[in-house]
Amino acid sequence: MSAIFRNLRGILVLSGFAINTIFWFVPIFLLAIVKLLIPIAGPRRFVTRIIMKLGEIWISVNTANLTLGASIDWQARGTENLRPDAWYLVMANHQTWVDILVLQKVFNRRIPFLKFFIKQQLIWFPVLGIAWWAMDMPFMKRYSNSYLAKNPHMKGKDLETTRAACEKFRHTPTSVINFVEGTRFSEEKRDRRNSPYQRLLIPRAGGFAVAMSSMGSLFDSILDVTLAYPDGPAGFWEMCCGRHVQVIVDVRERPVEEWLVAGDYQQDREFRRRVHRWLGDIWQEKDELLQQLLENARSQ
């Protein structure tokens, strides 16, 4: 019977997510069409601000759904001085799909609506593509090495396209999130990739470098986020079914150093090495902090 009740609880919580998403997606989609038809930048930005407000309400209802239906112990620190009118690059470790819900809950209305870099081809994804466009998700156009070998004149064009896509953010406070490891952590991945860290994968600098090259001059600071789950990372369905989840979110604000913005990651080998060293030092610190957070939580 307990298994039946857990699954029923999971269905109810999941249904809450689905209903809430559909409910808010409809006006966002309709406003996206309006935005698409408006030729003037000022009114378009006004419609975008309305869409962002709807997105914030959507996240707030999702959080309420989790709070009422799931069993989550939220612990966040370092969020006191954040501002919704600033520009941030958020970089975090990645352990579970639930990380996205946690970050949305912790940062909603404290910083601008979180945005992800998305492959440009996905703008044609049915329905969602236009919604991502409406919410000003930055689209990236990437060329493979084989394509660039045949078309050398296109080298650097992908970065130019991304920079152009980010120009709109000069007028609207923006937060861009980057999971620097590129994928969720597991011990198997850590061992296979020979990661020097105990609880993290080796950071991948490419996405971070694109964000800095495209928007670095806009960012007020970098939010270095460490996510810790003392009882182990929770699966989404397990969480919906009522598994108790303790999550600790540590936020550290770092300055945007001039050299991070001025360098050429694609062409300058020494700059690439310096970025890798800089991220490696942060990841070593994050690995030690993660161990400390888990030990302290388990000893309480």
Helix (H, G, I), strand (E, B) or coil at 25: helix
28 vs 65: CA distance, rounded Å: 20
Contact 183, 96 (CB under 8 A): no
In degrees and rounded to multiples of 5, residue 82 shows phi and psi of -75, 155
Contact 298, 211 (CB under 8 A): no
Residue 141's pLDDT is what?
64
Q: What is the pLDDT of residue 156?
A: 55
The three-class DSSP label of residue 137 is coil
- Which runs of E-coded beta strand occur in 126-171? 139-140
Taking the CA atoms of 31, 33, 35 and 39 in sequence, report the sign of the dihedral they define.
Answer: negative
In whole angstroms, give the CA distance from residue 52 to residue 59: 11
Residue 166, C-beta contacts closer than 8 angstroms, at least 6 positions apart: 138, 214, 215, 218
Residue-level pLDDT at 300: 73
Beta bridge partners of 252: 224
Q: 210 and 117 in contact (C-beta within 8 Å)? A: yes
Domain ranges of the chain: 73-299
Specify which residues 247 forms β-bridges with.
74
Among candidate residues 281, 283, 253, 278, the one with its CA nearest the CA of residue 263: 278
Calculate Rg over the CA atoms of the chain.
20
pTM for this predicted structure:
0.87
Query: For each successive 10 residues of the chain (300 residues), what is the average pLDDT?
Result: 85 92 88 88 88 92 89 91 94 92 93 83 73 76 57 58 69 88 91 94 86 85 96 88 91 94 85 93 96 87
Q: How far is CA 41 from CA 36, 38, 45, 52, 215, in A?
A: 11, 8, 6, 16, 20
**H helix or E strand, kind and range, residue 2:** helix 2-37
The topology (CATH level 3) of 73-299 is: Glycerol-3-phosphate (1)-acyltransferase (3.40.1130)
Cα 182 to Cα 179: distance, rounded to the nearest angstrom: 6
Other beta carbons within 10 angstroms of residue 102's beta carbon come to: 25
Q: Which two tokens stand for residue 40?
A: 């003037």
Q: Can you read off the two tokens belonging to residue 256?
A: 């945007």
Is residue 199 within 8 A of residue 95, CB to CB? The reply is no
**CB 86, CB 112: distance < 8 Å:** yes
Is the Cβ–Cβ distance between 108 and 63 less than 8 Å?
A: yes
Nearest to 101 by CA among 8, 189, 16: 16
Pick the closest to residue 113 from 131, 130, 94, 98 (CA basis): 131
Half-sphere exposure at residue 22, Cβ-oriented, CA atoms within 13 angstroms? 5
